[in-house]
Amino acid sequence: MNPYGPQQLASAIRTVRKNTILVAEDIPEESYGYRVDPDSRTVGETLLHIASAPQIDYRLHGSERVSSIEDFQLFGTILKEGPIHEKLAYSKAQIIELLRTDGEKWAEFVERIPQSQADELVAMPNGAPSKSRFEMIQSTKEHEMHHRAQLMVVERLLGVVPHLTRNRRPAQAAASVAAAAH
């Protein structure tokens, strides 16, 4: 029995997405066009990229259930032809709603994957070691965390205190008061 399977991963996906949504809510809409440098995505494009990434999981591990990605040349196509397009104009409210609804859709998809399917190996290109479907889906969650970390740096650049820091401050203040009382 695997103590960490698709149901636990789906729960982790929900937690990660909840925190991504909090970051998206904290950044002012007028800053959704901000980009750190000319070659980077804007805030809005990064959030849309995050929202669209699970489209790859649906194809690789769902509708097409490929056994090898050696010849699977559709990564760019999936993101370009998918229902979410990074370069289209979406309002802040629309982006947050996409993150919310598509995040739950993704978590539900992962929850329904039987452990036996999650354990299936998928051949990687260029002789790289095979990966389980579970590992590949988990990497999509980690990919979101990577981009959310970028957005938290952007928050700092914009003068926004990230929610994790704001939430930690009352506990730090209480600890300081308690330490001073001793």
DSSP assignment of 70-97: SS---HHHHHHHSS--TTS---HHHHHH
Output the six-digit token pair for 12: 């982790």
Domain CATH number, residue 27: 1.20.120.450
Mean pLDDT of the chain: 90
Q: Is the pLDDT of residue 116 over 80?
A: yes
68 or 136, which is more confident?
136
Mean pLDDT of 86-96: 88
Query: Running DSSP on this structure, what letter comes out for residue 69?
Result: -
Position 74 scores a pLDDT of 63
Q: Is the pLDDT of residue 106 over 70?
A: yes
Output the six-digit token pair for 174: 């209480």
Domain that residue 171 falls in: 6-181
Position 160 scores a pLDDT of 96
Position 63 scores a pLDDT of 87
Structural domain total, the chain: 1
Q: Is the pLDDT of residue 75 over 80?
A: no
Position 9 scores a pLDDT of 97
Residues forming a β-bridge with 68: 123
Q: How many residues in total does the chain contain?
A: 182
Output the six-digit token pair for 177: 């008061």
Does residue 1 sit within a domain? no
Does residue 142 sit within a domain? yes
Q: What is the pTM of this model?
A: 0.87
